[in-house]
Structure 1
Amino acid sequence: MDQPQRPVPLQAQLPLGKDPLSIRRRVEAMEQVLERSFVIPGINRAVGLDAIMGLVPVLGDILAAAMGGYIVWEARNLGLPKWKLARMAGNVLFDSAVGAVPLAGDFFDFFFRSNTRNLRIIKAHLDKHHPSSRIIEG
């Protein structure tokens, strides 16, 4: 007889530590939620909450910007240089500003992935300064 499986605790799914590996996993999870949560059938294009929330005028754009800001905040906790943080903040602000334009902004959100760009900046920093946090992707 099969035993019911216990749900995996949130801490095991998403590390809550302040070490570089835990931060890397949280940022990767946030980027996936914001940019690649769902696949649109027919065109096989991945989209996330950033593009979906952008469909809700004003409030959706504010929430998407706040969630993108979380990634910048985590980068600050990692000690990224100010110029990299400014570049990341610029990505979020540019995405938010253009994304706020009705219809054209929604189309733009479909292609410009500020959170993916910011994740690349964080990964490059971690790979150089904290190589033990590097994850081999298969």
Structure 2
Amino acid sequence: MSPPPLGAFASSYAGRDPAAVRKRIEAMEHLLEGLFTVPVLNRKIGLDVILDLIPIGGDAIGAAMGAWMVWEARNLGMSKLQMARMFGNVGIDFLLGIIPVVGAVPDFLFRSNTRNLKIIKRHLDKHHPSTATING
């Protein structure tokens, strides 16, 4: 069986329809929070924790990537309260991350992007149930 053409792959992530938004947000959350597993701790980490090793700038990049998820939520028509909670999660993550040396530890535990993904998924499952996926 041959792989799908590149256009088919790209089109599944492009657009403003809720299914495409869900895929993009899930991909971003995976990039930021779950790229690989730390062997001894058996805990996933991603780019968000790695960026914490770059003083201030890394945290700003991580916050910008987290804010992009909130932008996608806005495009879905989520409420201002939901978006405020999401921005609060990104802000807490940023503020904890700028603590020198130990900033990666709270980021390793808080996972603002995973929290925001859950908020978005709840909204999508309620308002766009056809986009729901079965995780197994």
Distance 1:69 1:11 in 2: 27
Unaligned runs of 5+ in 1: none
Corresponding residue for residue 12 of structure 1 = 9
* 1:124 paired residue number: 122
Equivalent in 37, 40, 43 of residue 41 of structure 2: 43
Q: How many residues align?
A: 134
CA–CA separation in structure 2 for the residues paired with 1:8 and 1:137: 25
Moved over 6 A (4+): none
Aligned pairs for 1:90-129 (under 5 A) are 90-129=88-127
User: Which structure is larger by alpha-carbon Rg, 1 or 2?
Assistant: 1
The amino acid across from 2:16 in the alignment is K
Query: Cα RMSD (Å) of the superposition?
Result: 1.7
Sequence identity, in percent? 52
Report SS of the residue matched to 2:54: coil
Name the CA shift for 1:16/1:60 in 2 (closer, same or farther; >3 Å).
same
One-letter code of the match for 1:92? V
TM-score (normalizing by structure 1) = 0.91
Superposition TM-score, scaled by structure 2 size: 0.92
**Which of residues 3, 21, 24 is equivalent to 1:23?**
21
Deviation for aligned residue 1:7:
8.6
